[in-house]
């Protein structure tokens, strides 16, 4: 595929997203002019294990109020708002999908967090920031859409200060074989670029990172998914983002993990001085 970024952005763009989410929130009885991060948690955590994953990764990263964090692939802004509200740090989100950026900005305005959290459209392969701008970096469920993984990790290292820390959650390739499609990040293999855990570690280390913590959360994700089965669709959820294909994508994601075709990892890394 000649223009992967355009295809990826198109995959996530459905139109009318902000209005759709605000309408659902209002119907659920939320005060849409004075939202909280907890109000938004069911629908703005567009990644595996939702808010629970964000809480666990945030504890691993442990931001301080003085830290400036870059969130690459910031989506609807849920993790960025959580970090800003919970830890008092400043967060700058970057996402390839313009509709996600617009929605993230509007939801942040309605939570009163604009003084700490901001978003802009951009590519993870050419981050719109100077060298060594950030104390910490954060990314959840993004690498699956990035073919040039070496370049992406090099960009993360470039914008991090020496001894800065990077927190990642990613779906990786398991030994069980090719994926069942569609899944949330791709309707077909053309925009899906999974790497094995071993390949991922090697690429991160080659980009100048030292691994501080590495966890496989696949079993926890499977257990949580199984516990939620049969509970029925809730009024607020990421189906509002994904659309009519949500059920099929979730079924395939569950099957891929049960068959060990995918694994879920969390990691924290340190940027080695150059």
pLDDT for residue 230: 64
In angstroms, the CA 9 to CA 30 distance is 29
pLDDT averaged over consecutive 10-residue blocks of the chain (274 residues)?
A: 83 95 97 97 91 95 98 97 98 97 98 98 97 98 96 98 97 97 96 97 98 95 82 82 92 95 97 91
Sole residue written with tokens 């392969």: 125
Q: Is the pTM of this model over 0.85?
A: yes
Residues 165 and 271: beta-carbon distance below 8 Å: yes
pLDDT for residue 129: 98
What DSSP element (H or E) covers 269? strand 262-271
pLDDT in tens, 57-78: 999 999 999 999 999 999 999 9
pLDDT for residue 271: 98
Q: Helix H segments across the chain?
A: 4-12, 17-27, 37-44, 50-61, 78-87, 98-110, 149-159, 197-206, 218-228, 239-242, 246-258
pLDDT for residue 2: 52
pLDDT for residue 225: 83
* Domain residue extents for the chain: 4-124+131-271
pLDDT in tens, 167-209: 999 999 999 999 999 999 999 999 999 999 999 999 999 999 9
HSE at residue 125, side-chain half, CA atoms within 13 A, is 11
Q: What is the CA radius of gyration of the chain?
A: 18
Return the CATH superfamily for domain 4-124+131-271. Answer: Vaccinia Virus protein VP39 (3.40.50.150)
């Amino acid at each position: 595929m000649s223009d992967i970024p355009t295809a990826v952005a198109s995959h996530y763009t459905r139109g009318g997203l902000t209005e759709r989410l605000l309408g659902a929130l209002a119907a659920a009885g939320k005060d849409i002019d004075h939202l909280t991060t907890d109000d938004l948690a069911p629908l703005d955590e567009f990644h595996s294990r939702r808010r629970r994953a964000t809480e666990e990764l945030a504890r691993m990263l442990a931001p301080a109020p003085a830290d400036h964090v870059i969130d690459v692939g910031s989506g609807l802004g849920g993790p960025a708002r959580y970090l800003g509200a919970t830890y008092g740090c400043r967060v700058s989100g970057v996402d390839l999908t313009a509709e996600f950026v617009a929605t993230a900005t509007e939801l942040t305005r309605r939570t009163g967090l604009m003084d700490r959290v901001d978003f802009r459209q951009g590519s993870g392969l050419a981050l719109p920031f100077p060298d060594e701008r950030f104390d910490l970096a954060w990314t959840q469920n993004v690498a699956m859409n990035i073919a040039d993984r070496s370049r992406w990790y090099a960009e993360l290292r470039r914008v991090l200060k020496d001894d800065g820390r990077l927190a990642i959650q990613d779906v990786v390739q398991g030994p069980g074989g090719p994926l069942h499609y569609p899944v949330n990040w791709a309707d077909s293999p053309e925009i899906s670029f999974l790497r094995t855990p071993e390949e991922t570690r090697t690429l991160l280390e080659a980009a100048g990172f030292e691994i501080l913590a590495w966890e496989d959360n696949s079993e926890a994700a499977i257990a949580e998914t199984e516990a939620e089965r049969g509970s029925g669709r809730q009024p607020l959820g990421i189906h509002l983002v994904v659309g009519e294909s949500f059920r099929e994508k979730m079924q395939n994601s569950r099957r891929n993990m049960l068959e060990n075709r995918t694994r879920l990892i969390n990691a924290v890394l340190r940027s080695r001085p150059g």
